[in-house]
Amino acid sequence: MADAIRISHRYCAARFPKARKFAAGVTADRARLIRQTSDKWLNGTTIRYWFFDKPRKWTAPNSQKNVVREAFRKWKALGIGLDFAEVKNRTEADVRIAFDQDDGSWSYIGTDVRTRRRDRRTMNFGWSLTGDPKEGMDTAIHEIGHTLGFPHEHQNPFAGIVWNEPAVYAALAAPPNKWSKSTTYHNIIEKIVPDTVQGSHWDPDSVMHYPFEAGLIKKPVKYRGGLTPAGDLSARDRLWALKFYPGISAGTLPPLALLQSVALALQPGQQANFSFHPAETREYEFRTFGASDTVMALDEMSASGARHIAEDDDSGVDRNAYIKAKLRAGRKYVLRVRLQYAHAAGQTAVMIW
Ligand SMILES: [Zn+2]
């Protein structure tokens, strides 16, 4: 057997969510629309991240953490509606970051970071982010991209990549990656579900795309000699980040009034945001109406960003999103509603009482 092609880069081994299963009555079209955004955060969310301070193996000096902090700033600098905040307490964090140098680099995908697991980490960096500063920054941007819900671009089914599969498995089994067949399959060979792809074009310059040495790609023919993405966020990465998470100007959200239903004129995947200023401290109830699937979240707004109070997702089931929470007079709240699917256009509404 010929020697394996030597791969010089270490690759991210993302941890993908389990494929969602739907009840028998859910149509294929409804399932497709729900899948399109099911791993994406509600826009306007403040994603809180935290670095492990123990065990020692999971910690890193500030020089490493600063690369990750800067990568979060780069995503935010695109003008997206998400916010990021570093927190000092693990209990406040959505994203828990470690630097175990023996465990490769990886992240969970999108809101799947909130699923409780035995492993307390949601993101790991398995090599120095400062050894090759450009590659280190791209690694941090890439892992955060997964946390925002973006998959691997080289697994885009529209890429039309035909792999030299034996060469890919052999190259990845060798150092520096030393991957199992299953890890290689799930991170390279397997095509992602078309429903969850951003648009219908392939972007070989995406920060979510690995570089590949010569001999691994059979088609397109032009990449037989290897493929090296340009590095950093590509034009299309920027476009899709803003498409899923457009900028929000917080001062201009329409207010919700008690006992007045508001029609939601949304396309599937679109989101509406409302402000609510309670006049008295008591329990309030929020509900969507209509034959539709929505994700609804309530946040309290303050100088440190949006603090998550409650969220409900009724996608794929026959009920409506509902939140009951005690709110305080004088504070500011934001209700976010994303339409996943509507049985008929324009027949979804939201109300508070
Ligand atoms: Zn990855």
Average pLDDT over residues 208-234: 95
Residue 25 Cα to ligand 1 middle (Å): 34
How does residue 62 score in pLDDT terms, banded at 50, 70 and 90?
very high
How does residue 152 score in pLDDT terms, banded at 50, 70 and 90?
very high
Question: Residue 67 pLDDT > 60, yes or no?
Answer: yes
Residue 222 Cα to ligand 1 middle (Å): 24
Angle between helices 62-76 and 133-147 (to 10 degrees): 60
Residue 12 Cα to ligand 1 middle (Å): 4
**Between 35 and 178, whose confidence is greater?**
178
Contact 350, 287 (CB under 8 A): yes
Cα separation of 166 and 184, whole Å?
11
Residue 331 is predicted with a pLDDT of 96
Q: What is the pTM of this model?
A: 0.93
Residue 59 Cα to ligand 1 middle (Å): 21
Residue 22 is predicted with a pLDDT of 87
Residue 46 Cα to ligand 1 middle (Å): 22
Residue 155 Cα to ligand 1 middle (Å): 10
Cα separation of 35 and 268, whole Å?
11
Residue 74 is predicted with a pLDDT of 98
Nearest alpha carbon to residue 114 among 102, 137, 96, 97: 96
Question: Residue 2 pLDDT > 70, yes or no?
Answer: no
**Other beta carbons less than 10 A from residue 27's beta carbon:** 11
Question: Residue 254 pLDDT > 70, yes or no?
Answer: yes
Residue 150 Cα to ligand 1 middle (Å): 9
Residue 185 Cα to ligand 1 middle (Å): 13
pLDDT tens per residue, range 261-286:
999 988 888 999 999 999 999 999 99
The amino acid at 288: T
Residue 14 Cα to ligand 1 middle (Å): 5
Beta strands in 3-127 (DSSP E): 46-51, 83-86, 95-98, 106-107, 123-124
Contact 266, 290 (CB under 8 A): no
Domain 28-244 has CATH 3.30.499.10: no
Beta strands in the chain (DSSP E): 46-51, 83-86, 95-98, 106-107, 123-124, 162-163, 217-219, 262-263, 271-276, 282-289, 292-302, 305-313, 322-327, 332-342, 349-352
DSSP letters of 276-335?
E--SS-EEEEEEEESSEEEEEEEEEEETTEEEEEEEEE-TTSSS--EEEEEE-TT-EEEE
- What percent of the chain has a predicted confidence (pLDDT) above 90? 75
Residue 112 Cα to ligand 1 middle (Å): 15
Measured at the CA of 326, the angle between CA 112 and CA 41, to 5 degrees, comes to: 20
Average pLDDT over residues 69-91: 96
- What percent of the chain has a predicted confidence (pLDDT) above 70? 97
Residue 250 is predicted with a pLDDT of 64
Residue 51 is predicted with a pLDDT of 98
Residues of the chain with CATH 2.60.120.380: 250-352
Residue 16 Cα to ligand 1 middle (Å): 10
Residue 204 Cα to ligand 1 middle (Å): 14
Residue 142 Cα to ligand 1 middle (Å): 6
Burial of 153 (0-12, 13-18, 19+ CB in 10 A): buried
Residue 324 Cα to ligand 1 middle (Å): 37
Residue 190 Cα to ligand 1 middle (Å): 13
Residue 342 is predicted with a pLDDT of 84
Average pLDDT over residues 126-141: 96
Residue 197 Cα to ligand 1 middle (Å): 15
Residue 308 Cα to ligand 1 middle (Å): 27
Residue 13 Cα to ligand 1 middle (Å): 6
Residues of the chain with CATH 3.40.390.10: 28-244
Residue 224 is predicted with a pLDDT of 96
Residue 20 is predicted with a pLDDT of 81
Average pLDDT over residues 63-85: 97
Out of 104-118, 137-151, 191-205, 339-353, pick the least confident: 191-205
Q: In what order do the strands lie in the sheet with 262-263?
A: 262-263, 349-352, 282-289, 322-327
Question: Residue 55 pLDDT > 90, yes or no?
Answer: yes
Phi, psi of 199 (to 5 degrees): 70, -165
CA distances from 208 to 49, 155, 163, 200 (A): 20, 10, 18, 16
3-state secondary structure of 352: strand
Residue 92 Cα to ligand 1 middle (Å): 25
Residue 198 is predicted with a pLDDT of 67
Show the tokens assigned to 74: 């780069």
* 22: Cβ contacts below 8 Å, ≥ 6 apart: 30, 31, 34, 316
* Helical (H) or strand (E) element with 159: none
pLDDT tens per residue, range 27-43:
888 888 888 888 899 99
How many CA atoms are closer than 13 Å to the CA of 302, on its beta-carbon side?
8
Q: Which residues are in the CB-under-5-Å shell of ion ligand 1?
A: 12, 14
To the nearest whole number, what is the mean pLDDT of the chain?
Answer: 92
Residue 327 Cα to ligand 1 middle (Å): 40
pLDDT tens per residue, range 309-353:
999 999 888 889 999 999 999 999 999 999 988 887 777 899 999
* 102: Cβ contacts below 8 Å, ≥ 6 apart: 57, 126
Residue 10 Cα to ligand 1 middle (Å): 11
Which residue is associated with the tokens 């060979």? Answer: 189
Question: Residue 1 pLDDT > 70, yes or no?
Answer: no
Nearest alpha carbon to residue 20 among 342, 340, 343: 340
Residue 193 is predicted with a pLDDT of 78
SS (HEC) of 203-237: CCCCCCCCCECCCCEEECHHHCCCECCCCCCCHHH
Residue 86 Cα to ligand 1 middle (Å): 22
Q: Determine the topology of domain 250-352 in CATH.
A: Jelly Rolls (2.60.120)
